[in-house]
Amino acid sequence: MLMHIKRILAASVVISAVLAQETVCNGYAELCDRKYSNVTSVGAHDSPFIGNSSMTNQDWGVSAQLDHGARMLQGQIHRQGQALHLCHTNCFIHDGGSLLDYLTQVKTWLDKNPREVLTLLFTNSDSIGVEIVKQPFVDSGILDMAYHPQSPTTAAGDWPTLASLISTNQRVVIFMDYHADHSKVPQILDEFSHFWEDPYNAVESTWPCTRDRGDSSSGMYIHNHFLDKKETLLGTDIFTPDTDKLTTTNAASGEGSLGAAIDNCVAKHTQPPTFVLVDYESHGNGSVYEAAAAANGVQYVAKGDIHPPTPAQLSHEMDDNAGEDTSDALAVALAQHLLTLTLPATLALSLLVL
């Protein structure tokens, strides 16, 4: 009899845990009934670029970024031969691996976390056709769970709630900055029809939160909260992450912090940003996620000890997110400078390898 009672109690605990989980959206029950456009989330700026060089922006791989709480992943799509890769500026400088491999990791994480809504934002400076971009999303299985609105643009007030996106398994919202075409691929949305962004490549932590790009009437906006250093080499401005100031930049409060920047945005625009993009999201033991929780008016729920990786862990992450990094500052400057010149391809290539 006693054993029977223990089994019933154990089963009750399991059922209660499952039911509790089913009332949570992106980590918080309070967010379930919020429209997608009315939630502030942290985005990992240049998510695929893992390491500690001048051309990397994160130090944990994409699965860890998601585990920590990132709910937007941003990256740059470029051609690499016949494949699409995630490269920083161009694939000579830093190749973060194939888009398909990256999306496959994301899909694996989403399958393990069915109560999460994720946003993907990609730049497309190579002007790749949207139907070509679509294929890795199909092959990874991501496109099957992507939000697909009926019209090319969705007004801020017309977005579904997080709970609705979860219940219909449209848990991935995909944006691309240029060359999206709703008539060809309705799951890949035009970024600047839905968002405006404030300036990027900031070298001072004043964070003005003023429109730099995009449609100011869209109702949603992105705050670029990553601080850079600027150097000029061979006549080319090089912006690299200011890692010396990450403790302040990623803090939840204080002068120059993410928390203070969000407060400034609210003072100017009456509502917080929909996404805040940060470098090295692990620095601050979850402080960037604490700042987002405050913007959402919820009590921050820590996801354990969030910290930068040890050298051994970083090496492992870089192996798991395989890419090629040639980002010595002089090489970067030379590559970027050559790309602006009208030179025969063979001559440019020979100069790059000197």
CA distance 33 to 129: 36
Res. 211: pLDDT tops 70? yes
Residue 110 lies in a domain: yes
Q: pTM value?
A: 0.88
Which of the residues are catalytic? Answer: 45, 88
pLDDT, position 2: 52
Q: Tokens 């959206």 — which residue?
A: 25
Q: Give the number of other Cβ atoms within 10 Å of residue 266's Cβ.
A: 15
pLDDT tens-digit series, residues 73-84 = 999 999 999 999
The average confidence (pLDDT) of the chain is 88
Residue 231 belongs to what H/E stretch?
Answer: strand 228-233
**With contact defined as beta carbons under 8 Å apart, do 228 and 237 qualify?**
no
CA distance 78 to 90: 7
Q: Is 228 left (phi over 0), alpha (psi -120 to 50) or beta?
A: beta
Phi (first) and psi of residue 70, to 5 degrees: -65, 130
What is the identity of the amino acid at 207? Answer: W
Res. 350: pLDDT tops 60? no
Q: How many structural domains is the chain composed of? A: 1
Residue 30 lies in a domain: no
pLDDT, position 325: 58
Residue 2 lies in a domain: no
Question: What CATH code is carried by the domain that includes residue 270?
Answer: 3.20.20
pLDDT tens-digit series, residues 116-140 = 999 999 999 999 999 999 999 999 9
Residue 26 lies in a domain: no
**With contact defined as beta carbons under 8 Å apart, do 140 and 93 qualify?**
no
Out of 47-51, 158-162, 207-211, 329-333, pick the least confident: 329-333
Question: What mean pLDDT comes out for the span 349-354?
Answer: 34
Residue 325 lies in a domain: yes
Band (303; pLDDT cuts 50, 70, 90) = confident
Sign for the pseudo-dihedral over CA of 149, 151, 152, 156: negative
**With contact defined as beta carbons under 8 Å apart, do 142 and 103 qualify?**
yes
Res. 342: pLDDT tops 80? no
Res. 15: pLDDT tops 80? no
pLDDT, position 235: 85
Q: Give the number of other Cβ atoms within 10 Å of residue 299's Cβ.
A: 10
CA distance 163 to 117: 9
Out of 143-152, 242-251, 341-350, pick the least confident: 341-350
Residue 22 lies in a domain: no
Residue 340 lies in a domain: yes
Residue 326 belongs to domain spanning: 35-352
Residue 333 lies in a domain: yes
Res. 155: pLDDT tops 90? yes
Res. 217: pLDDT tops 90? no
